[in-house]
A and B are shown apart, each in its own frame.
Chain A
């Protein structure tokens, strides 16, 4: 018997609790669906459902088998994805994407790690923003990518969420620059330089909300992206900007951002701000190649970008308009 196809029927009936609805979802008629369930029950020697005239309920034995049935289906999908990849490329091709803000060191470590773990796979690497990656996933043009959070994660599976702590870039003679660690509230009065909001509205809003929550509401937000332009604005406009430790802090590569340039980098007290990343791939399309990429990316971020596991969540007070309650 075609076990995978029969398990698909089992999972559909279990999730819909109704033969008619399950049949509609599977795009088949009800009688062959009932026959398949009966055949599967004979094959397994276990009764999966109790049927009354109006209702179908899963048996205890059925419940015990459901998780494993889903697992088999997921593995089977992954196998098909790998086969597709091997068929489409000579040795197998993984289409992957990285965001533009990673350091060269991180990208190099990722590539080295991936080649070590999956030597027989060809990697087609693209530089894409999170929004571009989500669109490419939906269009089936991308297998795996490293994305920024927050973003709409519906239909995705994620690797571990990692945070890259952000510190502050400020003029060397500004008062808070004298502190080893700068509280966000002490930046009061300084304009903030941030990337243009359309590039990632949710990340932008998240950063400003966290600033406000910690006592820093900038009088004005100016938009800039290039590193030297940002530094120029920090110096000329007495403004501040945020940057990750791996680009500006101890052991950073660029000597132009050292104390001599007039701009200093300081960690923020309590590390309230961070860039958050994870590897992501479309739900059900994970396979060993995707796993190899996820492993290499996570390892590279941890070892070369000082990324650490996401912090435990803060208290959350649901308000009445939330409509849900736990």
Chain B
């Protein structure tokens, strides 16, 4: 295990990131801790908490997942995917909005769901599951608004300036949506053990995590046809995250949370994306070692 930890830290350093990782065997509880209790900015990883809160309310009967929601083009939260990128009005069920939120990290779908579920309910859900260090303090639209405000008139281009990066509230866990790697593996383990919501809802949450389209982060560490990877990414300037569950055909299943801050301020950092897979694989291999 100490060897694995050293290799994980070396992989993070080689990719030019500061990384925090927690990995746990969902069935035995064996774990690997590389900064598991450090506060981290969740970014879009918090959409997982929102998804679980949505299913909790559905299970309690306070909402119906097939309920139709009007999604007018005006006032949509911005983003590069899903409804956030579409131009015309649409009408979708709550569960299809949830699909867009998880598969392509659709910010507009997430805020429509948040409008229905409520920020307080998301926090009640995470508190109920014992995630004491996890908290959502703003919607995804509000989160993006702080970046726009803090970046100033230079817009996205200013985000390459280290000076601007140091003043982004969105990158300070004390002032934005936050968690710890250990809280996130605890949430994933609860989902996989059907402790977060009843089995039919647990299955729906697991299905959506498995439909995420991005291949470049955690999934890149497991290029094996017989291994299933389900996860949710999160990204902001200098932040690259993913939390997920890796399942092997022998029944082994592992919850892994990787949160990184990159040294480089570039928007495109393939090495930082890939090291999330590399570190997750090192961790899972260590947990699977005989």
Contact = CB atoms under 8 A, between A and B. Distances in A.
Interface of A: 15-17, 21, 25, 54, 149-154, 156-158, 160-161, 197-198, 201-202, 205-206, 209, 276, 278, 283, 310, 312-326
Given A16-B137, A326-B78, A326-B147, 14 more contacts: A17-B137, A150-B16, A153-B238, A154-B18, A201-B263, A205-B264, A278-B162, A316-B156, A316-B157, A321-B233, A321-B273, A322-B80, A323-B43, A323-B80
A21 B105 contact: no
Nearest to A148: B263
A322 B155 contact: no
A318 B214 CA distance: 16
Given A150-B265, A206-B264, A323-B105, A158 B18 contact: no
Contact of B78 (A15, A54, A157, A325): A325
A169 B163 CA distance: 31
A324 B44 CA distance: 9
Interface in B60-92: 78-81, 84-85
Nearest to B269: A205
B265 to A, nearest CB: 6
A314 B157 contact: yes
Contacts of B21: none
Contacts of A161: 161-163
A248 B155 CA distance: 37
B283 interface: no
A152 B80 contact: no
Interface of B is mostly: mixed
Contacts of A150: 16, 162, 263-265
B171 A326 contact: no
Contacts of B162: 149-150, 153, 158, 161, 276, 278
B186 interface: no
B262 interface: yes
Given A201-B13, A205-B16, A318 B166 contact: no
Contacts of B159: 316, 326
Contacts of B195: none
B121 interface: no
A156 B171 CA distance: 12
Contacts of B234: 323
Contacts of B80: 318-320, 322-323, 325
A319 B80 CA distance: 7
Contact of A153 (B156, B165, B271): B165
B154 interface: yes
12 contacts: A153-B166, A154-B261, A158-B166, A198-B14, A201-B263, A202-B262, A206-B266, A314-B160, A316-B156, A323-B44, A324-B147, A326-B148
Contacts of B79: 323-325
B166 A156 contact: yes
A310 B156 CA distance: 17
Given A17-B137, A324-B144, A152 B263 contact: yes
B4 interface: no
Interface in B86-117: 104-105, 107
Contacts of B137: 16-17
B22 interface: no
A149 B165 CA distance: 12
Given A21-B135, A201-B13, A313-B158, A321 B235 contact: yes
A201 B157 contact: no
Nearest to B18: A152
Contacts of A15: 174-175
Interface string B110-138: 00000000001000000000000001010
Point out which of B151, B159, B273 has the most chain A C-beta atoms below 10 A from its C-beta.
B159
B93 to A, nearest CB: 23
